[in-house]
Structure 1
Amino acid sequence: MLYQDALLERLESGLRKSLPQWGLPQDAKVSLLEISENATYLAEDGNGEKTIFRVHRPDYHTEEEIRSELAWVAALREDGVVETPRTIPTEDGSPLSSFSDGEATRYIAAFSFMSGKEPDAEDDLVKWYGELGEINARLHTHAREWQKPEGFTRKTWNFDTIIGDGALWGEWSAAPGLTEEGHAILEKTAALLRKQTDAFGAGEDRFGLIHCDMRPANLLVDGDRLGVIDFDDCGFSWYAYDFAAAVSFLEHEPYLPDLMAAWVEGYRKQAPLSDEIAAALPMFVMLRRMQLTAWIASHGETETAKSMGVPYTEGSVALGETYLAENG
């Protein structure tokens, strides 16, 4: 496990020493918000001004990849595509800073604070996923038309890097509580998904730069505004995968078809979406479910993984069994 107490103490110390680069005192109020791929902190100055700091996990994104993410976020804000926090440069104008943690380099990015709460089952999720479909359509259109800066680089999320031999989030086969029977079911599911995604292809009409993590935890509702945060996993993938990522940890819910229909309807208000791509959404939901099953196995120290555990693995097997029956 990466994020243990000793490491978190070092990260907060390194962040505090870096705060003056943003004009904040080292003794500013700092609190840990979340650990996932990265450690995210909230810092407050004496006037109550809030800033979000993201301390990056080592050996995940390169400096060039992080700078590329921040460049896209800045462009999306400038072009009015999506409501998302502003990236805050250091006082010398750099979008990124870093500090040494032993032999590792820890990159720090800062963002303005965005108000709101994540939508949940008590909210009108169908309404918000309809709006999310519109946001995704605008975002995908922008990604196709945007002149990317020289050196722009982000990860590619295809079958191999999602659940294949080069899976960036680990092996689904290491999922907690996975039985021999369950392994066989998921193995067959993975083989089918490989065949299906190969047939679906990665043409320009269906594959490009996406957010790749618009799950409820990365959405902030404040009144009628739906804000989107955390572009840390943005990369090149299927446009339809943005929907699959948006229903992360909701794949088993009975209202999933309603969210899917709302997302498609919202998307089509802003941009074309073929029937072929709309029909492929369940395939990408299953692919994402298997990716998250692997993520839980490799990120056991996070609160999300702890809250899911063995039941999530069992649910993945059940969904895989149903998927095989429906696509056999």
Structure 2
Amino acid sequence: MKRIGVLTSGGDAPGMNAAIRAVVRKAIYEGLEVVGIFHGYQGLIDGNMEVLNLGSVGDIIQRGGTKLYSARCPEFRTEEGQQKAIEQLKANGIEGLVIIGGDGSYRGSMTLTKNGFPCVGIPGTIDNDIPGTDYTLGFDTALNTVIDCIDKIRDTATSHDRTFIVEVMGRDAGDLALWAGLAGGAETIIIPEVKMNMEEVVERLKSGTSRGKKHSIIIVAEGVMSGSEFAAKLMEHANIETRVSVLGHIQRGGSPTGRDRVLASMFGARAVEVLIAGSGGRAVGIQNHQVIDYDMNEAFEKSEVFDQNMYQLSKELSI
């Protein structure tokens, strides 16, 4: 293998740039040429790419977002779109790909692997919802961003004796809400993995009020409902007035934490090693503090394990 490509796809996550840097520099160290593909699978179809050198990835390890940009690409889901992508790979002499993104990106990776172009996936998503790895790239940074916001919101909640609802990202997975809620001392955490019990939520709020507590923080993962919808339900059930803060895309931005930079560096280097070994359809990850690679099908066949113990602890500590 003499030439590989790298692209980022799906929602951006802090640490993607650090991973791109690691892929490029590890590959060059091993004597390979690297082509950067812009705007994900859409850029692959359009042939929007260029050769990257050491200087191309200088001064990006500390930057959020992705130097290669990202985009959704419905066209790649069609056979015609996939054929265009394959033709571009052949035309540009690309023999393997490193794809940084979430489960949708992984599915595209498997499609290309089955068509003779080995791909390796790096889990880049703030949701921490890729089976097979303990942590995904960007989760730690997003977590710290949410915690910082919760701390600031608590200041004003305390000042005004109010209950605040904080809506965080997490369509199908509640890791970000759960970890941030526990770290931020939230009184209630609403996540997709646990069926919501409004009566229990109301009881917890009233119990706090009865012992003199005058403010509360409720974390709601967007996959359950919006913060505004939850506020309306709380008013309907208990006539409790709240304020809603929707953190939105601020959770995706910002300079990656040291942990995400290190993970990105190790993930990127391992992905290149896997391609050099002639393997495709693999994903890199971390398990028990060790960087590993595994069959990407596991990311589709297994369900992400929800940490019930952590959820229970969050309830016990917020009495």
Q: What TM-score does the superposition give when structure 1 sets the normalisation length?
A: 0.25
Q: TM-score, normalised by structure 2?
A: 0.26
- Max radius of gyration: which structure? 2
Q: Which has the higher contact order (CA 8 A, sep 6+)?
A: 2
